[in-house]
Structure 1
Amino acid sequence: MSKGADIELIDVTKRYGAALAVESVSLKIPAGTYCCLLGPSGCGKTTTLRMMAGHESITEGDIRLGNTVVTDLPPARRGTAMMFQSYALFPHLDTVDNVAFSLKMKGVDKASRRAKAMEMLKLVHMDHLAERRPAQLSGGQQQRVALARALITDPQVLLLDEPLSALDPFLKIKVRQELKKLQLQLGISFIHVTHSQEEAMALSDLVVVMNGGRIEQAGTPREVFNRPATAFVARFMGDHNVIAGRVTAIGDDDMTFEVPGGASFRAPRAPQSGLEPGEPVEIAVRTDRVTLGAGAMPGCGLTGLVQNIEYHGQKVQVALNAPGVAEFAVQVPETAFFAAPLSVGDAVPLAWTPQDVHILKASPAA
């Protein structure tokens, strides 16, 4: 394989008529990075991927691969390869000819292209099924063939559009591990579109969370999970509670804010936020950092009414609400929950520590 290259998006915008699909996206993905574009349906992640591939034109901005601006280059001349969600295999060709197809289009002789195709099939552990047609392969096997076909062009960047969405849960985990192993082995960047937080966390070196055609946050999985930038990221990544209110007082080390129901909460003071009394503020508290029972420090707790209880095996998810605070959740270890079980309708005191409070920024897509 060729050595990978950095890929950079510079103020990239995509419009479809009056509709804005992607707005002023700037992002640099270093060579050799596993990057996941993560977000809900319609957030612009697939459009962004297709612009990188050259399958969508760019309304404004540029895309650079290494030292080359590829904005106006056709897909075959970019140094990228794309693996489509549908796999798009030719039903009348066997596995080896499907993989070799792009080399055939380039005029490579039959013996050479088939040898190269077998090399790629061996890489994805599919060489033993080289003579089968797509209809004789499982979904996971077809996916590997599509992967081999993308890699045969020797790309500097591989683009993957929801590559695991058609697989069952057990196979997803297996193929996920193989993708990461393959990316490390090849040393090129994989840019992978997904709406699965779990998939992005498991695979990526760089998570790019998109919403409304913009990037809300880009960082390592741990950064994005532990320090979500905005309320959207906190909610989308899951396992965070968001409490919104208005600042009532600013102290030396902390600030106080009030929610519509009248309750007051404390948060560490963040000088860089520039918040003043009367301004809106949102905080995030991880669901696994909230404890049941009394003993909260002033402003670091509430009493909630249990709305729903879900058993998840090693943990139990308890959903509550309180005046001015809707959809508050707590993850309780299984043994702790069943030592003192709760029922829907119970009023429960909740507590957390100031260190577990994270102040959020206003969303760019808001």
Structure 2
Amino acid sequence: MTKSADIELAAVSKAYGQTIAVHPVSLKIPAATYCCLLGPSGCGKTSTLRMIAGHESVTSGDVLLGNANVTDLPPASRGTAMMFQSYALFPHLDLVDNVAFSLKMKGVDKEARRREALEMLALMQLEPYANRRPAQLSGGQQQRVALARALITKPEALLLDEPLSALDPFLKIRMRAELKKLQTSLGISFIHVTHSQEEAMALADLIVVMNAGRIEQAATPRQVFEQPATAFVARFMGDHNVISGRVVESGEDHTVIETTAGIRFQAPASAAPVGQMLDLALRTDRVVIGGEIEPLLGFNGVVSGVEYLGATVKIAVAGAGIDEFTIVTSDAAYFAMPVKPGDAVPLSWSARDVITLGKADA
């Protein structure tokens, strides 16, 4: 449908008076990439998206689209299109006129813009509803109209601000699949803001995890899942336990840390010197309940909660000076050896499953 271009943020920052919403961030999003900006509320992801779109001025740094520096260009001149969370459809116009609105503003004649609008509605499987008003459509249909209206400008990148947040869980999953299919068929970049880890994992080629106005990690979903870069990423993605302690032994083939409770754990060899604080990560599904505990590779804890989730069971355990410790096991494994809150349990893991975490850039 249209060409795509690399998008690059070069030390881009955003300040509102004395408040820094986005510290200088640098990021390259290759052409035709589905990129998710992921993080909790207030982390700077929407401000970053709006700076790419031109709806928010850049305090410092540059926004590059292909070979063009678009930092100071208005939104309509950037080669990007933005789909807002609220959809912002015109209630008094039918779908054709809603979709064709930007072409009307550009002075495209009525026949040509109606033809293009109908083509976009056909792409969204909404042609039969062309003469309806937005209020006569479901939430999912309204979203597809908003998508059609954004895409009719033939952008090099489509920017989406929490596009699935207003939909019910079943429709979210369906629209997720449609968005990915659409991005693949159009061959342009989608940059999608979300606070849902599941959504980002399902959609993205590139996940950019943000926290407190900084990028903690930018990597593929598999890398973010299996090799979180920082303690924040490990905790936020929800699939790793984080063990924090002070380095008490630093050898050639391993490191040993000690928690505030005086319990010691083994980690891979690290450059961290004795006395420095170090964070380790351990996947929640790699912890074994019961059995022998190898030295430095487990601890005795007390079950503090059990959540049955269908195919899996989530077990929270307290102990060893670790703030939160979670085990995710299969339902079959859990019911073969069930535990309940208050039970004392030995936990163990393999040395190869322990990851040494870095620190976020200051």
The 5-angstrom pairing of residues 335-354 of structure 1 reads 335-354=332-351
In structure 1, the partner of 2:218 is 218
The 5-angstrom pairing of residues 230-241 of structure 1 reads 230-241=230-241
Structure 1 segments (4+ residues) deviating >6 Å: none
1:307 matches 2:310: no
Unaligned stretches of 5+ residues in structure 1: none
Where 1:91 maps in the other structure, the secondary structure is coil
The 5-angstrom pairing of residues 9-48 of structure 1 reads 9-48=9-48
Q: Which moved more, 1:28-37 or 1:295-304?
A: 295-304
Q: How far 1:327 moved relative to its partner?
A: 1.2
Where 1:245 maps in the other structure, the secondary structure is strand
Where 1:302 maps in the other structure, the secondary structure is strand
In structure 2, the partner of 1:116 is 116
Once residues 113 and 360 of structure 1 are traced to their aligned partners in structure 2, the CA distance between those partners, rounded to angstroms, is: 53
Once residues 3 and 132 of structure 1 are traced to their aligned partners in structure 2, the CA distance between those partners, rounded to angstroms, is: 31
Between Structure 1 and Structure 2, how many residues are aligned? Answer: 362
In structure 2, the partner of 1:80 is 80
Unaligned stretches of 5+ residues in structure 2: none
In structure 2, the partner of 1:360 is 357
User: Is contact 1:240-1:287 (8 Å) kept?
Assistant: yes
TM-score (norm 2): 0.99
Where 1:284 maps in the other structure, the secondary structure is strand
User: Is contact 2:300-2:320 (8 Å) kept?
Assistant: no
TM-score (norm 1): 0.98
Q: How far 1:332 moved relative to its partner?
A: 1.5
The 5-angstrom pairing of residues 121-132 of structure 1 reads 121-132=121-132
Once residues 69 and 277 of structure 1 are traced to their aligned partners in structure 2, the CA distance between those partners, rounded to angstroms, is: 47
Q: How far 1:252 moved relative to its partner?
A: 1.8
Once residues 238 and 343 of structure 1 are traced to their aligned partners in structure 2, the CA distance between those partners, rounded to angstroms, is: 22
Where 1:198 maps in the other structure, the secondary structure is helix
User: Is contact 2:229-2:358 (8 Å) kept?
Assistant: yes
User: Is contact 1:100-1:113 (8 Å) kept?
Assistant: yes
Once residues 29 and 359 of structure 2 are traced to their aligned partners in structure 1, the CA distance between those partners, rounded to angstroms, is: 25
How many percent of aligned residue pairs carry the same amino acid? Answer: 66
What is the root-mean-square deviation of aligned Cα atoms in Å?
Answer: 0.7
Once residues 195 and 146 of structure 1 are traced to their aligned partners in structure 2, the CA distance between those partners, rounded to angstroms, is: 21
User: Is contact 1:21-1:212 (8 Å) kept?
Assistant: yes
Q: Which moved more, 1:87-96 or 1:296-305?
A: 296-305
> Alpha-carbon deviations, 1:83-106, whole Å to 9, x = none?
000000000001110000000000
Once residues 137 and 93 of structure 1 are traced to their aligned partners in structure 2, the CA distance between those partners, rounded to angstroms, is: 13
Q: How far 1:132 moved relative to its partner?
A: 0.7
